[in-house]
Structure 1
Amino acid sequence: MATPITASALLSALRNEGCRVEEVGDWRNHHRNHVGRWGPVHGVMIHHTVTNGARKTVELCRRGYAGLPGPLCHGVITKDGRVHLVGHGRANHAGLGDDDVLRAVIAERRTPSPNERNTDGNTRFYGFECENMGDGRDPWPEAQMDAIARAAAAVCRHHGWNEWSVIGHLEWTHHKIDPRGFSMDSLRERVRKLLA
Structure 2
Amino acid sequence: MAAPLTATQFLAALRAEGLTVVETLGWATHNRNHKGPWGPVHGVMIHHTVTKGTAATVRICRDGYAALPGPLCHGVIAKDGTVHLVGYGRANHAGLGDDDVLRAVIAEEDLPSDNEASTDGNRHFYGFECENLGDGKDPWPDVQLEAIEKAAAALCRHHGWGEDSVIGHLEWQPGKVDPRGFTMSSMRAWIHDLLADDEPPTQPPAPPKPTPPAPAKPRYAPFPGVGWFTVGRKSPIVLAMRKRLIAVGCGRYQSTKNPDVIGSGDKASYEAWQRACGFTGKAAQWPPGRTTWDALKVPNV
Query: Secondary structure of the equivalent of 1:84?
Result: strand
Higher relative contact order (CA 8 A, sep 6+): 1
Residue correspondence of structure 1 range 10-21 to structure 2 within 5 A: 10-21=10-21
Aligned to 2:100, the other structure's residue is in SS state: helix
Q: State how 1:44-55 maps to structure 2 within 5 Å.
A: 44-55=44-55
2:3 maps to what in 1?
Answer: 3
| Partner Cα separation in structure 2 for residue 43 and residue 18 of structure 1 | 20
Tell me which amino acid in the other structure corresponds to 1:142.
Answer: D
- 3-state SS of paired residue (2:126): strand
Other-structure match for 1:167: 167
Q: Give the Cα separation in 2 of the matches to 1:127 and 1:110.
A: 20
SS at match of 2:101: helix
Structure 1: distance between partners of 2:51 and 2:110: 29
Alignment of 1:18-29 (within 5 A): 18-29=18-29
User: What does residue 68 of structure 1 align with?
Assistant: 68
Aligned to 1:84: 84
Q: Distance in 1 between matches of 2:56 and 2:124?
A: 27
What is aligned with 1:43? Answer: 43
Secondary structure, aligned partner of 1:44? strand
Task: Check if 1:31 corresponds to 2:17.
Answer: no
Q: Deviations over 1:111-144 (max 9, x none)?
A: 1010011000000000000000000000000010
Deviation at 1:173, TM superposition (A): 1.3
Task: Determine the C-alpha separation between the residues in 2 that align with 1:109 and 1:82.
Answer: 31
**Amino acid aligned to 1:169:** H
Query: Which digits, 9 at most, give the CA deviation of each residue in 1:42-75, with x for residues without a partner?
Result: 0000000000100000000000001100000000
- Counterpart position of 1:149: 149
2 CA distance for matches of 1:193 and 1:97? 28
Aligned partner letter, 1:184: M
* In structure 2, distance between residues paired with 1:127 and 1:175: 18
1:70-149 aligned at under 5 Å gives the runs 70-149=70-149
C-alpha separation between the residues in 1 aligned to 2:115 and 2:93?
Answer: 19
State how many pairs are aligned.
196
CA deviations over 1:76-134 (Å, ceiling 9, x no partner): 00000000011110000000000000000000122101001100000000000000000
Deviation readout 1:137-187 (Å, 9 max, x if unpaired): 000000100000000000110100000000000000122000000000111
The one-letter code matched in structure 2 to 1:102 is L
Q: Which residue of 2 aligns with 1:188?
A: 188
Q: 1:69 and 1:42 mapped to 2: Cα distance? A: 23
Higher strand share: 1
TM-score (normalised: structure 2): 0.65
Return the alpha-carbon distance in structure 1 between the equivalents of residues 195 and 7 of structure 2.
21
Give the distance between the partners of 1:90 and 1:142, measured in 2 at CA: 30
In 1, Cα distance between equivalents of 2:110 and 2:58: 31
* TM-score, with length taken from structure 1: 0.99
Looking at structure 2, the residues matched to 173 and 61 of structure 1 have their Cα atoms a distance apart, in angstroms, of 19
Give the secondary-structure state (helix, strand or coil) at the position aligned to 1:12.
helix
- Runs (4 or more) in structure 1 with deviation over 6 Å come to none
- CA RMSD, aligned part only? 0.5
Q: Residue 94 of structure 1 aligns to which amino acid in structure 2?
A: A
Q: Distance in 1 between matches of 2:80 and 2:109?
A: 31
